[in-house]
């Protein structure tokens, strides 16, 4: 089964109100799934683009108490902005949340060049800071409880 999850980080200006002249630059992450891959041919060069189905960031994305980002892939938004350039996308994997099947946990890999020096990249999870920073250090006092959370990927609510 192919997992075609992507995320896009967009930077935008935010204002407190319509009368506010002072803006703040903020980065927002959007999560989605690739539906189609297109290649625009300009004769002298080609540009790959992705047609994506995006999750509504207002109602379909939240961060849980352990710091994991969860998405509801059924909450579709941004139907007028379907396309992104392939270079803008970062690959993510969605894993069903065992405590609530409606939500999926976002797992972001770390792209590193292939050891054979090919042009393609491989995803490695060994040093994945987004995953490892949420896990508490192991010691005898929290070993059993922590091991249960790690095995299920979540804490009990």
Work out how many domains the chain is built from and give that number.
1
What is the predicted pLDDT for the residue at 150? Answer: 40
Is the residue at 67 inside a domain? yes
Is the residue at 119 inside a domain? yes
Is the residue at 148 inside a domain? yes
What is the predicted pLDDT for the residue at 57? Answer: 93
| Residues ≥6 apart with Cβ < 8 Å to 91 | 5, 6, 109, 111, 123
What is the predicted pLDDT for the residue at 112? Answer: 55
Is the residue at 157 inside a domain? no
pLDDT (tens place) for every residue of the chain, 157 residues total: 367 899 999 998 877 777 878 888 889 999 999 999 999 999 999 999 999 999 999 999 999 999 999 999 999 999 999 999 999 999 999 999 999 999 999 998 765 554 444 444 444 433 444 443 444 444 444 444 443 444 444 444 3
**What's the pTM value of the predicted model, to 2 decimals?**
0.66
Residue 99 domain boundaries: 5-152
């Amino acid at each position: 089964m192919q997992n075609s999850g992507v995320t896009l980080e967009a930077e935008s200006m935010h204002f407190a109100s319509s009368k506010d002249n002072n803006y703040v630059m903020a980065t927002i992450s959007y999560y989605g799934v690739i539906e189609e891959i297109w290649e625009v041919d300009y004769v002298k060069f080609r540009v790959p683009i992705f047609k994506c189905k995006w999750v509504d960031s207002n109602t379909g994305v939240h961060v849980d108490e352990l710091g994991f980002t969860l998405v509801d892939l059924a909450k579709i938004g941004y139907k007028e902005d379907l396309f992104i350039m392939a270079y803008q996308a970062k690959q993510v994997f969605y894993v069903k949340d065992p405590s609530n099947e409606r939500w999926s946990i976002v797992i972001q890999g770390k792209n590193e060049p292939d050891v054979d020096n090919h042009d393609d990249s491989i995803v490695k999870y060994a040093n994945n800071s987004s995953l490892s920073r949420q896990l508490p250090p192991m010691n005898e006092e929290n070993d059993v409880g922590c091991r249960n959370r790690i095995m299920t990927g979540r804490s009990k609510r």
